[in-house]
Amino acid sequence: MKTEKCGVALDRVLGLDAFSLERVLEIEPDFLDEDHTHEHEEDITSVSLASDIPLDERKFQAWFGKLLRERGQDILRSKGILDFKGQDERFVVHAVHMLTDGAPLGPWPKGKPRASKLVFIGRDLDKMGLAEGFAACRAA
């Protein structure tokens, strides 16, 4: 089954048994044990960025696109909700490696401050100048 942006009826996907605890326990019998540890790569880290100042959409798109083209192999996942200057709607962006997608998300919730938040998960994030690049996207 192929879908785009969750455009599928729930009765087509519920009950598929896509995650089965029984299958997990076949692979990792001690998965539910209190002392069980999962192996993770130690070089995987995350970085969270935020700005109360609206972003310039052109600057952000140029920076984010270049970042993913040049460092996308090390960026496992990125996602955020952005406040672009002059836009009434929130903008959601997400990427896996170099594949990215973004779209308006709807109006900002009433009574809550507008702010941009962006999260990266990957390798060598500390060497990418993420905070500086994100800050350079602020609107004048």
Identify the helix (H) or strand (E) that includes residue 27.
helix 21-27
Q: What is the pTM of this model?
A: 0.73
- Which residue ranges make up each domain of the chain? 44-135
CATH fold of 44-135: Hypothetical Protein Yjia; Chain: A;domain 2 (3.30.1220)
CA pair distance 91, 10, nearest whole angstrom: 25
CA pair distance 75, 5, nearest whole angstrom: 22
- Residue 57 has what pLDDT? 97
The one-letter amino acid at 29: P
Q: Are 134 and 86 in contact (CB under 8 A)?
A: no
pLDDT in tens, 105-133: 999 999 989 999 999 999 999 999 999 99
- Residue 42 has what pLDDT? 72
4-13 as b/e: b if 16+ CB within 10 A: eeeeeeeeee
